[in-house]
C-alpha cells in the first residue's frame, strides 16, 4: 500500500475539534481547518472579509497546479544552470589551453630572441677581433720603426761623446760625418701617426627599449570584451532581439560575429546579426513555438560573455495559475514595481498581490473613500479616482494622502492617466475629460465633451495617451474609442460599436503597450488593435471566462502580458498575447 493510500485511510484531524477531519482551507491564514473552524474562527462577517475559505480539495488542486508550474520553472532554471556550467567548464578548459599556449609562445619567442641576440653578439665579437688584429699589426710596425730610430740616434750620440773625449785629430777626421748623418736622420724622422687604438661598442638603447616592452603582448580575446543582453522570456510570435554589448576597449566588426539560434526541437540555424546606425549589434530570431530557445554568439570562435543565452518562449493565452480569485467588486488593476499588482474594489482598500497570485498586504484609506481607477506614478505614489467623494487623490503606499483635488469639478470620475513629462493628469469625467495640473491641482481645461441623457449614467469611462502624446478617449455608452490631439481637437474615431471582433460593446478599459498597440476591455472580451485602429486579434478565448471586464494594465513587454480586472467573476486574470 502506498503512502498516499495510507494517508487517505488516516487523514489528519483538527487540533481543536479533535474528531473532525480537515476539509476546509483558509487562504488568508494559509492553514487547513475543519468545517466547525470555518464557521466559528474563520468566517466572513458582515461582508467584510476576515477570512477566505475554500474546500481542501480545491486548495489541494491549486497546490498541485502551483507545484507543477514551479517544477517546470525549476526544470528550466536547472537546465539553464547546467548549460551555464557546461559553458563555464568549456571556458576553464579553453583558459587552461590558452595559458599553456601563451606561456609556450613566450618561452619560444624569448628563446628565439636570445638566439638572435647571441648570434648578433658573436658577429660583433668577430668584428672586434678583426679590427684588433689590423690595428695591433699597424701599431707594432710603428713601434718597431720608432725603436730602431731611437737606437740609431742613441748609437751616434754615444759615438759623438766618445770622439769628444778622444784624440782631436781623430775626432776631426770622422766627427763631422757623424754629425751630418745624425742630423739628416733626425730631420728625416716623420711625425708619429699613432694608429687609432679605439675599438668601441656602442649599445643600441632603442633596441633595449624594444626588447623590454615590445617583444610581444599579452591580451584577452575579443570575445572577452563583448556580452549578450536581453529579455529571458517572450511570447510565441515575438521577435527575439538580443543586444550585443561592446566596450570601448576593443573594436569588434560584424564579420567577426557568428550567431546561431537553437530551437526547442534541437535544430540549430544561423541567426541574423543586424547593425544599427550607432554601430551596435542585435541578434534577430523568429520563434514560432513555445519552449526554450538558445542564442549562441561567438567572436573569433569563442563564446562571448553570457553566451549561450536561454530564452523561454511562453504560450499565448490565459495564465491560469496566476489568476487572482475572490476579489469582490474588482474594478481595476495596475502594476507596481517589478512583481506587484494593486487591485481596487470601489472601497477604501487597495489590495497588494504578487503576479503569481499571492496576497502580500493592503493599503487602507479613510472611511468613505471609494478607490475606483488607479495610476502608478514614477515616484512610487498612487493616484486614484475616488467615487465616494468625486475627487482625485494621490497617496503613498502607506496610505498617507499627499493631495486631493477636483472637488466640485468632477462627477463620477473613472479612468485616469498621468503624463509625468508635462505634469498633467487626465480624468475620464462622465461627459468630458478633465485636465488638471498635478502640482497645483487646478483645472486646466475640459476636452472631449459630449452630450448625455438621463439614461446614460457614465459615458466617458477611460482615457490614456499614445506614444506620440495624442489622447485616446473611451466612450462607454457610445461604444467608441476616439483619438484627440494634445490640444483636445478630435482627429478621428479609432474603434466603433459592434459585437463582432474588431468592434466594441460597453468598453471599460484602454491601455497602450510598448509597441504603441491598443488593448481594449469590453463586455466579454479583450482585443488588440494597432495605433491606427486596425484590428489585430482577440487576446482571450470564450472559455477563459472574460465577463464585464473593467480596468486593465500592461504587466510586461517581454513577454507581452496584460492583466484585467474581470468584474463578472471577481477575478484578476493575466494573459500572454
The pLDDT of 182-200, averaged and rounded, is: 71
Q: Give the Cα separation of 260 and 278 in Å (integer).
A: 23
Taking 90 as the threshold, does the pLDDT of residue 428 lie above it? yes
Within 8 A by CB and 6+ apart from 311, the residues are: 230, 231, 232, 233, 234, 240, 242, 287, 292, 293, 294, 295
Q: What is the pLDDT of residue 207?
A: 62
Closest alpha carbon to 335 in 575, 572, 563: 563
CA distances from 246 to 281, 285, 310 (A): 9, 20, 20
- Total number of residues shown for the chain: 577
Q: What share of the chain is helix, strand, coil (3-state, %, to 5)?
A: 30, 35, 35
pLDDT band at 33 (very low <50, low <70, confident <90, very high): very high
Cell 532554471 found at: 77
Distances from the Cα of 543 to the Cαs of 183, 320, 417, 527, 547, in angstroms? 141, 12, 31, 15, 11
Point out the least confidently predicted range of 133-142, 247-256, 379-388.
247-256
- pLDDT greater than 80 at residue 196: no
Exposed / middle / buried, residue 123 (Cβ in 10 Å: 0-12, 13-18, 19+): exposed
Q: What CATH architecture is 222-314? A: Sandwich (2.60)
Class of domain 3-51: alpha beta
Closest CA to 392 of 381, 377, 403: 403
First to last CA, the chain: 46
**pLDDT value at 46 more than 60:** no
Which of 17-26, 71-80, 434-443 has maximum average pLDDT?
A: 434-443
Give the range with max mean pLDDT: 202-211, 232-241, 339-348.
339-348
Alpha-carbon gap, residue 236 to 242, rounded angstroms: 16
Which residue did the predictor score with more confidence, 3 or 259?
259
pLDDT score recorded for residue 265: 93
pLDDT at 455: 47
* pLDDT tens digits, one per residue of 280-307: 899 999 899 999 999 999 998 888 988 9
CA dist., res. 365 & res. 416, Å (int): 19
Q: How far from 410 is each of 138, 389, 422, 431, 441, CA to CA, in Å?
A: 120, 9, 21, 10, 12
Question: What's residue 316's pLDDT?
Answer: 96
Counts for the chain of helices (H) and strands (E), in that order: 5, 37
Instruction: Give the whole-angstrom CA distance, residue 463 versus residue 385.
Output: 12
* Contact between 344 and 263 (Cβ < 8 Å): no
> How high is the pLDDT of residue 220?
64
| CATH class belonging to 317-576 | mainly beta
DSSP character at residue 320: G
233 against 88, higher pLDDT: 233
Amino acid at each position: 500500500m502506498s503512502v498516499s493510500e495510507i494517508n487517505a485511510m488516516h487523514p489528519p484531524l483538527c487540533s481543536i475539534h479533535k474528531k473532525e477531519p480537515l476539509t476546509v482551507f483558509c487562504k488568508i491564514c494559509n492553514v487547513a481547518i475543519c468545517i466547525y473552524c470555518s464557521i466559528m474562527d474563520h468566517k466572513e462577517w458582515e461582508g467584510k472579509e476576515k477570512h477566505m475559505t475554500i474546500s481542501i480539495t480545491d486548495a489541494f488542486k491549486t497546490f498541485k497546479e502551483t507545484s507543477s508550474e514551479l517544477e517546470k520553472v525549476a526544470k528550466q532554471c536547472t537546465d539553464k544552470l547546467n548549460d551555464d556550467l557546461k559553458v563555464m567548464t568549456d571556458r576553464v578548459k579553453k583558459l587552461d589551453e590558452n595559458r599553456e599556449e601563451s606561456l609556450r609562445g613566450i618561452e619560444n619567442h624569448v628563446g628565439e630572441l636570445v638566439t638572435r641576440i647571441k648570434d648578433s653578439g658573436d658577429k660583433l665579437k668577430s668584428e672586434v677581433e678583426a679590427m684588433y688584429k689590423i690595428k695591433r699589426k699597424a701599431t707594432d710596425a710603428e713601434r718597431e720603426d720608432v725603436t730602431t730610430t731611437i737606437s740609431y740616434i742613441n748609437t751616434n750620440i754615444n759615438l759623438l761623446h766618445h770622439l769628444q773625449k778622444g784624440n782631436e785629430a781623430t775626432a776631426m777626421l770622422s766627427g763631422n760625418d757623424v754629425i751630418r748623418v745624425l742630423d739628416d736622420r733626425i730631420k728625416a724622422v716623420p711625425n708619429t701617426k699613432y694608429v687609432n687604438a679605439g675599438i668601441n661598442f656602442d649599445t643600441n638603447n632603442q633596441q633595449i627599449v624594444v626588447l623590454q616592452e615590445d617583444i610581444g603582448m599579452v591580451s584577452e580575446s575579443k570575445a572577452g570584451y563583448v556580452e549578450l543582453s536581453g529579455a529571458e522570456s517572450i511570447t510565441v510570435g515575438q521577435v527575439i532581439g538580443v543586444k550585443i554589448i561592446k566596450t570601448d576597449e576593443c573594436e569588434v566588426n560584424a564579420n567577426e560575429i557568428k550567431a546561431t539560434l537553437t530551437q526547442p526541437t534541437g535544430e540549430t540555424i544561423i541567426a541574423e546579426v543586424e547593425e544599427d546606425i550607432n554601430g551596435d549589434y542585435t541578434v534577430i530570431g523568429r520563434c514560432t513555438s513555445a519552449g526554450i530557445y538558445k542564442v549562441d554568439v561567438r567572436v573569433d570562435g569563442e563564446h562571448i560573455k553570457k553566451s549561450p543565452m536561454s530564452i523561454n518562449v511562453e504560450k499565448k493565452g490565459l495564465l491560469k495559475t496566476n489568476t487572482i480569485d475572490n476579489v469582490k467588486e474588482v474594478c481595476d488593476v495596475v502594476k507596481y514595481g517589478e512583481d506587484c499588482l494593486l487591485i481596487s474594489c470601489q472601497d477604501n482598500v487597495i489590495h497588494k498581490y504578487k503576479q503569481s497570485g499571492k496576497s502580500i498586504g493592503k493599503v487602507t484609506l479613510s472611511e468613505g473613500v471609494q478607490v475606483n481607477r488607479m495610476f502608478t506614478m514614477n515616484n512610487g505614489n498612487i493616484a486614484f479616482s475616488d467615487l465616494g467623494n468625486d475627487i482625485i487623490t494621490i497617496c503613498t503606499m502607506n496610505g498617507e494622502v499627499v493631495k486631493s483635488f477636483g472637488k466640485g469639478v468632477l462627477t463620477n470620475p473613472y479612468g485616469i492617466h498621468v503624463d509625468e513629462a508635462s505634469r498633467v493628469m487626465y480624468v475620464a469625467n462622465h461627459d468630458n475629460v478633465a485636465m488638471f495640473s498635478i502640482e497645483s491641482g487646478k483645472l486646466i481645461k475640459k476636452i472631449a465633451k459630449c452630450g448625455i441623457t438621463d439614461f446614460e449614467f457614465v459615458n466617458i469611462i477611460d482615457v490614456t495617451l499614445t506614444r506620440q502624446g495624442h489622447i485616446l478617449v473611451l466612450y462607454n455608452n457610445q461604444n467608441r474609442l476616439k483619438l484627440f490631439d494634445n490640444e483636445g481637437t478630435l482627429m478621428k474615431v479609432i474603434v466603433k460599436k459592434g459585437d463582432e471582433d474588431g468592434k466594441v460593446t460597453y468598453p471599460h478599459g484602454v491601455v497602450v503597450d510598448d509597441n504603441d498597440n491598443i488593448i481594449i476591455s469590453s463586455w466579454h472580451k479583450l482585443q488588440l488593435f494597432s495605433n491606427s485602429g486596425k484590428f489585430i486579434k482577440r487576446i482571450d478565448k470564450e472559455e477563459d471566462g472574460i465577463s464585464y471586464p473593467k480596468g486593465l494594465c500592461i504587466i510586461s513587454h517581454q513577454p507581452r502580458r496584460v492583466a484585467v480586472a474581470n468584474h463578472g467573476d471577481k477575478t484578476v486574470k493575466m494573459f500572454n498575447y
